[in-house]
Amino acid sequence: MDITLGMLGWFAGYLLTSRLGVWIAVTRISLKSSPVQGTAKWGRIASTTFLHSGPWLLAVAVVFAVYLHAKVWAPWFFGGAIIGAVTYICLVLSILRKVRRRKEGNAA
């Protein structure tokens, strides 16, 4: 049972981190795509915040964590979630490093 909870936690952490990463990337791209000033900038931020799944999954995860943190199985689940988040972050950093090397190789 413990390993199952750890794997479910890994999946949840990986999913949450990936959705948050995509949300941050979409917000960044929408702001860089065309120069906007004032309220149009805040409109883009608001639209990517309310229409993307990242912030909503974060809200659900926070409610889940607050409500279930005292359960006996919670350390296994949250430990798996932390490992899943670290796995995703390491994967993204590895891909970004490879892309950067290719750009430097093409520029030289």
**DSSP character at residue 38:** T
User: 49-77 burial, b if ≥16 CB within 10 A, otherwise e?
Assistant: eeebebbebeeebeeeeeeeeeeeeeebb
pLDDT at 78: 93
pLDDT for 73-94, tens place per residue? Answer: 899 999 999 999 999 999 999 9
Ordered per-residue pLDDT tens for the chain, 108 residues: 788 999 999 999 999 999 999 999 998 888 887 676 767 778 888 888 888 889 999 999 999 999 988 888 899 999 999 999 999 999 999 999 999 999 888 775
